[in-house]
Structure 1
Amino acid sequence: MNAQWANISNFLLYLGVSIPLLWIGMYAFSLTTPYNDFAILRKGGDVSDSGHVDAAMATAYDLGGKMLGLAIVLSSAIFHSVNLFDLTLWGMVSIVFEVIVFCLFRLLMPIKVTEEIPKGNVSVGILSASISVASGLMMAALISY
C-alpha cells in the first residue's frame, strides 16, 4: 500500500509541474500574436455574425494545435525525465522551440498568418494547428534520443 502512495505522490508532483508548463507555453504563444485569442473565442458565440464564428473557429484550431503540440512534447519530457528538474528543463526547452517553430511558420508562409486567423480563415488555423502538432511529435522524438 505504501508503494501506491509513493506512486500517487510522484504522479501529483509531475502533474503539478506539467500543467503549469503547459500554461506557460500557451502564455508564450499568446505573446506571439497581435490579437487576443480568448477575446476572439468569446465573440464566436455571436452566431448572428458569421465573421465572428469563423474567426473563433480558426483561432480554436490554431490554439488547439498549439496546445496539442506542447502536450505531445511535454508528455515525452515526462516519460524520459529522471527527476522534476529534468522535466522542467526539457519542458522549458520544448516551449521555446515550439514558439520558434511557430514564428518560423509565420515568416515562411506566403500569407500573413496572424492577419488571416482573426479574419476567419479556418484553413490557415488548421494548417497552423497541423504544424504545431507535427513539430511537437518531432520534438518529442528528439527528447527521447
Structure 2
Amino acid sequence: MGGQWSNISNFLLYLEVSLPLLGIGIAAFMAITPYKEFQLIGDGDEINDPRKFASAQAAAYTLGGKVLGLSLVLASAVFHSVNIIDLTIWGCIGIGAQVILFYLYELVTPFKVTNEIPKGNVSVGILSAFLSISIGFLLASLISY
C-alpha cells in the first residue's frame, strides 16, 4: 500500500504542473488572437443570427483543436519526463512551438485565420483544428525522440 501513496503523490504533482501548463498554453493562444474566443462561443446561441452562430462554431473548432494539440504535447512531456523540471521545460517548449507554428500557418495561408474566424468561416476553423491536432501529434513524437 505504501507504493500506491507514492504513485498517487506523483500523479497529483504531475497534475499540479501539467494543468497550469495547459492553461498557460490556452491563454497564450487566446492572447495572440484579436478576437475573444469565449465571447464568440457564448454569443453562438443566437440562432436567429447565422453569422454569430457560424462564428461560434469556427471559434469552438479552432480553440478545441488548439486545446487537443496542446494536450497531446503535454501528455508526451508527462510520459517522457524524468522529473517535474523536465516536464516543465518540455511543456514550455511544446507550447512555444505550437504558438510559433500557428504564426507560420497564418503567414503561409492565402487568408488570415484571425480574420476568418470572427466572420464565421467554419471551414477555416475546422482546418485550423486539424492542423493544431496534427502539429500536436508531431511535437509529441519529437519530445519522445
- Shared fold by TM > 0.5? yes
- Identical amino acids, percent of aligned pairs: 57
2:110 corresponds to 1:99: no
Count of aligned pairs = 145
2:21 corresponds to 1:24: no
CA shift, 1:99, in A, is 0.3
Structure 2's unaligned 5+ residue stretches are none
Alpha-carbon separation, structure 1, partners of 2:13 and 2:113: 37
CA contact (8 A) 1:32 1:103 kept: no
Q: CA RMSD in A?
A: 0.6
**Residue number in structure 2 paired with 1:74:** 74
CA shift, 1:31, in A, is 1.3
Q: Which contiguous aligned blocks of 4+ residues in structure 1 show a shift greater than 3 angstroms?
A: none
1:16-74 deviations in whole A, cap 9, x for unaligned?
10000000000000111111111111101111211111000000000000000000010
**Residue number in structure 2 paired with 1:132:** 132
TM-score (norm 1): 0.98
Structure 1's unaligned 5+ residue stretches are none
For the residue of structure 1 that corresponds to 2:48, the secondary structure is coil
For the residue of structure 1 that corresponds to 2:45, the secondary structure is coil
TM-score (norm 2): 0.98
CA contact (8 A) 1:46 1:53 kept: yes
CA shift, 1:126, in A, is 0.5
**Residue number in structure 2 paired with 1:86:** 86
Which one-letter code corresponds to 1:119 in the other structure? K
Alpha-carbon separation, structure 1, partners of 2:73 and 2:27: 16
**Residue number in structure 2 paired with 1:12:** 12
Map 1:29-68 onto structure 2 (within 5 A).
29-68=29-68
